Structures are given as C-alpha cells and as structure tokens.
Amino acid sequence: MISNKKLKKVLISIIAVILLFLLPFLATKIIYDNIFKRYDCQNITLSDELENIVLTRKNFNYKCKNNDLTGFLYECQKDKKDTLIVLAPGYNACCDSYLWQIKELLGYGWSVFSFDTTGSCHSEGNSAVGFSQEILDLNATLDFIESNNRFNYKNIALFGHSRGGYAVCCSLASDYDISAIISVSGINSAMEGVVGASCKHIGNIAYANYGFLWLYQSIIFGKDIVDMKADEILSSTDTPALIIHGANDSNVPIDKFSIISHKEKIKNKNVEYFVCANPKNSGHTDLLFEQDGTADNTLIEKINDFLNKSIKQKGLE
C-alpha cells in the first residue's frame, strides 16, 4: 500500500507535469489569438476611378463553415478575356486594399473576384483564426465560383498576397482546375509564418514554443492542413506559377521562410521567380504600389505577360 507521503509526492509530480504543459499551451493560445484577432475595414478615400469600379462590382455572400464570407466580382467591360482572376488578400488586409491592382488588371482585360477572409472587414467571424484559415476561405470561394458555372469564364487564375500568396499555392493540392497562380510575398508554410509573427511579440523564444504552436493549430485546422508547405505542393504539379518577393521584405524575409527561399526544392519547371529590388518599393506590401499609392504598373505588366503566356501555353485561350 502506498503511504500518504508517497501518494502526496506522486500527486504533486502529476500536477507539476500538467502545469508545465498547460501554462506554455495557454500562453501560446493567448499570443496566437492576439495575433489573429478580427480585422475591420479602415476608412479610405476613393478616387473617382476607384469609386467607379466599387459602385459597379457585384456583391456575393457564401459560407465557409459557419461564417458568411463576402466576395466581389469585378468584370472587365472592354476587350474582356475568358479568364477570371481570384484575388486572395494578405493578413490584416481586405478586398479594398487591392483596388488599384484590380483596376490595372481590368485594364488588361482580366476580370477579378476578390473576397474578405474569415474575421475581416465585410466577412463574418470573431477572429482571423490563423494562417491556415485562408486555405479554407479560398477553397470555399472556389467552390462558390464553380457552383455559379465560373460566372461563364473558361479559365481561373489565382493571385495571392502574403497569407493569400501561401493559400493560392495550397489550392493546387485540391481538385480545382486552375490555369495559373501568382504568389506575392508568400510564406512557405503556416508554421513558419506563425513562428515568424510570434517572434515580433516574444522574440526568438517563439521557436522554443514551436511544438505548442503546431499542436494548437492542429487542434483548430487538423494536421494535414497545418503541415501544408508551398514548395512541396508546387513540386507536385505542373501548373504555371509566378513567385514574387521583395528583396527588403521585413515581414517575410526573402532568405528565411518565404516561398522563394525554398526555390531549390521546387521541381515544377513552370515556376518563375521575380525579386523586386527597387529600394523604394521592395518590402512586404509596398512592392505592389508606386510612391503615390497607385499600383506598380511594372509589376502588373509582368503579371499580365505571365498570365498571357501561361494560358496560351496550356492552350486555354
């Protein structure tokens, strides 16, 4: 029979082990939830050009799990191509953050469908949930577009920024008919992105908490989604992809956990890479913009050329 003294020691040991596990896990949850809190639209003043495309866009609502997502269809009115670009926004961004890019794409003949992710702006959700949430949001968006006969567009191309740049790569792991993707400032995996974001809050100690971060995300999304890596998915397909990154990106450093830092592992021969090196706009988001806040036309032109070539190459014109 175990003595009361020994039993007490055993109980104390069990409680200590539980606390050693629970306290870091709870700390992880608090930090994680703070990073991915809900993001609401900022008031912006629209120029006449942008106000016109906002007034003429078509609004849609559709489900991702229990939340309504809001999407917007911007249709090219002149010299329209038979391709719809689905635009996946970055973290703490929304549809309206990319209106200048949408305007330029419309000018090249592309139509665009953009959406607000779970927990942001026009869409429902108490929080942004995590990096992997945009994979689910994008899949729900593609399902909605497919259920509407692709709005009568023959081809679907994807354009994602930051977290969206990761999500568009992950979409290739599903059975969607995607003609080409453009990934801008993308992270290579959700884990790399979360640890990188956590470092801004608690420093390099975030790496010591890697296991708890992985466990918490796996509870939310499931292991298969959390473990998705852009380089592995790109290697498993021959879908044309353009990977763009800023040389001076401080949010997703080009030489650390970006997709482009893994390019030696990517076996898809139809993947192209472009580094924005201009010091004036070579960061995480500003690479998309000119100094006056309009879209970087050089970058949009490169995207336009890539899409034209990729769709022609696949015989989809």
Sole residue written with tokens 């970058």: 299
Q: What is the mean pLDDT of the chain?
A: 89
* Domains in the chain with CATH codes: 45-189+228-313 (3.40.50.1820)
**Position 305 pLDDT exceeds 70:** yes
Q: For 19-24, what is the mean pLDDT?
A: 59
What does the alpha-carbon distance between residue 62 and residue 70 come to, in Å, rounded to a whole number? 7
What does the alpha-carbon distance between residue 239 and residue 174 come to, in Å, rounded to a whole number? 12
Q: Flag the least confident range among 84-98, 167-181, 205-219, 245-259.
A: 205-219
What does the alpha-carbon distance between residue 269 and residue 158 come to, in Å, rounded to a whole number? 18
Q: Return the higher-pLDDT residue of 211 and 220.
A: 220
Q: For 295-314, what is the mean pLDDT?
A: 92
**Position 313 pLDDT exceeds 80:** no
Report strand pairing: 83-88 vs 67-74: unpaired
What does the alpha-carbon distance between residue 124 and residue 218 come to, in Å, rounded to a whole number? 22
The two three-digit tokens of residue 89, written as one number = 């926004």
Answer positive or negative: Cα dihedral of 133, 175, 83, 185. Answer: positive
Q: What is the model's pLDDT at position 159? A: 98
Q: What is the model's pLDDT at position 228? A: 96
Q: For 46-68, what is the mean pLDDT?
A: 94
Q: For 105-123, what is the mean pLDDT?
A: 97
**Position 10 pLDDT exceeds 60:** no
What does the alpha-carbon distance between residue 117 and residue 182 come to, in Å, rounded to a whole number? 18
Q: What is the model's pLDDT at position 252? A: 92
Q: What is the model's pLDDT at position 46? A: 87
Q: What is the model's pLDDT at position 109? A: 96
Q: Which three-class secondary structure string do you get for 63-123? A: EECCEEEEEEEECCCCCCCCEEEEEECCCCCCHHHHHHHHHHHHHCCCEEEEEECCCECCC
pLDDT in tens, 159-191: 999 999 999 999 999 999 999 999 999 999 988
Q: What is the model's pLDDT at position 33? A: 85
pLDDT bin (cut points 50, 70, 90) of residue 192 is confident
Q: What is the model's pLDDT at position 303? A: 98
- Integer angstrom CA distances of residue 45 from 57, 147, 210: 17, 34, 41
Contact in structure between 259 and 230 (CB atoms under 8 Å): yes
**Position 132 pLDDT exceeds 90:** yes
Q: What is the model's pLDDT at position 272? A: 97
- Integer angstrom CA distances of residue 118 from 43, 131, 135, 214, 256: 19, 11, 11, 21, 27
The two three-digit tokens of residue 308, written as one number = 């034209």
